[in-house]
Amino acid sequence: MTLIQRSYRSFFSIVTTVTVICLQATAGAQTPVTHGIAMYGEPALPQDFASLPYVNPDAPQGGRIVLAEVGGFDSLNPFILRGSAPWGVNLLTVQSLLGRSYDEPFALYGALAETVETDSARSYVEFTLRDGIRFSDGSPVTLDDVMWSFETMGLEGHPRYRNAWTKVATMEATGPRTLRLTFTEPDREMPLILGLRPIVQRAQFDVTAGGRSFADSSLQPVIGTGPYVVSRVDPGRSITFERVADWWGDDLPLFRGQYNLQEIRYEYYSDLSVAFEGFKAGVISVWREPNAARWRDSYDFPAMADGRMQKIEIPHERPSGMSGFYFNTRRPLFADWRVRQALILAFDFEQINTTINDGAEPRITSYFGNSFLGMQPGPAEGRVAALLAPYADSLPPDAIDGYSLPVSDGRSNRRNLRAAARLLNDAGWHADAQGVLRNEQGQAFDFEILLLQGQTEIQTAAASFIGALRNLGINARVSLIDSAQYVQRTNEYNFDMTYTQRLMSLSPGNEQVLYWGSQGVTQPGSRNWAGVDLPAVDALIETMLSSQTTEDFTAAVRALDRVLMAGRYAIPFWFSPVSRLAASRTLHFPQHLPIYGDWTGFMPEVWWYQE
């Protein structure tokens, strides 16, 4: 039995018990004040737990790790729409009221807050702050800081924070260190989502006292409560984080064995291949290898041969997510599902996968593939069918009967190209005397594939795709831009097609609104880059958020998966069921791996340095 199967068996057993209790109780019955909260059931760890199960509580502290990033940054405020900020700022310099255990589908434990309270209906949540928590400048964290952070993130912050804030009816201090938020509608995830909101110092953004505006992009570090502070910045090129001396969270069980490294540095490169050369030269401490062929053939350099570096494979069972070329369906060119299906047919995955990965990686077949939550093959049945039935007339073709991706012979792809040509003709696109595909208005089928500089493998895939499209009379071209331009254009949905990846967890929730909710069709800065605008999608996400049992929740996720796949919003690429890491021999991590494997919460959080 796998790690995830064991976790879910226990997970389902707990949920069944809790569901029965809830049904016997009166609606809205209060639950005890506790040390943690889970999406369903109870957190796995008891109140007196000593540390998370996937850390080494006795790990030595000190040392340094250098990580590689492709692109650049022009801001140190990751909480607003403007600018592009390094990932490490959010990960390392701020903390939230609750913190996550990555060995459970979705469970949180007290961080800045020592307790959390809600009711069976999840109509409210109440947090009580710990005594003695401090910002990195030594000032105390107050209830005012927390309430200001919630409201400011919700009103002025990045759109990913705004959806949850619209569901908050009231926010009030109910004690010197206690805050209660009451919700406008049922949403089982809301107490957890708000528990993960970053808390920052209000005084830093008090413009009346000389502070800066929260909504302005800046290279001035945000004052947070995390274990690290920004110590050095070379704008767009590197950023270094130094561990906070006498950090308030040092002795907290949730953090014991985490944040062991004294210095964490991110080096930015313009190209993935250049970054890899930096790793081979010893500039980079750890390398995540996305390419199976390179993993097999390109690790014979001296540092690997003499043992200074080590290769590590970490299996995982987290959802595959969806990476690939996304259509912007706001563009009339891609509004017709037949056109999108034609381009999916023209994308010769088998040939491209062989070229880039030596055919070693499986294709992504659904948004929640490689997990229990993925859609089942064939026609929808049972609860999934019942959820889809009310929307049958507005669903994309094959959502109920079952959609599957085309397969080529890996050589010429002629059969799929013929099918693509027929679909394009049905959609009103016909070749002129010169072989150029045009619509009834005489407009040529011409579009841009927007890519971030440095995505070498994606450019290779795009080149092959463009060649296939040329055979259909379609003119596609690649535009390479830097990270700042890329963020601006995608925030404004100013693209025809682009590559991106949507990671999925074992407990999908409110982030699905950001990814696929209809409000993101026009709201700048959402993650609904595809322009998904279907009543069924909004309803299924709402069902996910209000489900009281795992059976209903799983059915809603599987139904959503079906609709998204049948919507042909992306041309799926590949995924890897293992994470490939090459790392310095001086870096170590615990033998027990969380169920999410090599993902957030694992590296660099639980690693340590030792000669």
List pLDDT tens digits, range 471-500: 999 999 999 999 889 999 999 999 999 999
Beta pairing partners, 309: 584
Q: What's the token pair of residue 524?
A: 């700048």
Task: Read off the pTM.
Answer: 0.79
Rounded Cα distance between 514 and 527, Å, is 5
Three-class DSSP category at 493? coil
Strands in 238-243's sheet, in edge-to-edge order, are 64-70, 263-269, 238-243, 228-234
Rg over alpha carbons for the chain, rounded to the nearest Å, is 25
Beta pairing partners, 570: 326
Strands (E), 319-400: 322-327
**CA distances to 74, 84, 268, 272 from 71, in Å:** 11, 10, 6, 9
Among the listed residues 464, 452, 534, 560, the one whose alpha carbon sits nearest the alpha carbon of residue 501? 452
pLDDT digits (tens, 9 = 90+) for 257-282: 999 999 999 999 988 889 999 999 99
Three-class DSSP category at 569? coil
Three-class DSSP category at 178? strand
pLDDT digits (tens, 9 = 90+) for 180-232: 999 998 788 999 999 999 999 999 999 888 888 999 999 999 999 999 999 99
Among the listed residues 194, 132, 139, the one whose alpha carbon sits nearest the alpha carbon of residue 163? 194
Low-confidence stretches of the chain (pLDDT beneath 70): 1-31, 597-601
Residues 474-509 as b or e (16 or more Cβ within 10 Å = b):
bebeeeeebbbbbbeebbebebbbbbbebebbbbbb
Among the listed residues 209, 192, 561, 243, the one whose alpha carbon sits nearest the alpha carbon of residue 404? 561
DSSP assignment letter at 141: P
CB 168 within 8 A of CB 154: yes
Rounded Cα distance between 30 and 407, Å, is 53
Residue 450, pLDDT score: 98
Q: What's the token pair of residue 555?
A: 């059915």
Rounded Cα distance between 575 and 322, Å, is 9
Residue 30, pLDDT score: 54
- Amino acid at the residue 512: Q
Residue 597, pLDDT score: 64
Strands (E), 43-201: 64-70, 95-96, 98-101, 107-110, 113-118, 124-129, 168-175, 178-183, 198-199
Rounded Cα distance between 114 and 171, Å, is 19
Residue 23, pLDDT score: 33
Instruction: Phi first, then psi: give them for residue 15, nearest 5 degrees.
Output: -65, -40
Residue 314, pLDDT score: 84
DSSP assignment letter at 190: H
Residue 214, pLDDT score: 93
Residue 11, pLDDT score: 39
Q: What's the token pair of residue 176?
A: 């010197």
| List of residues 6+ apart from 577 with CB closer than 8 A | 315, 316, 317, 362, 370
Q: What's the token pair of residue 546?
A: 């209000």
Rounded Cα distance between 271 and 289, Å, is 14
Residue 458, pLDDT score: 95
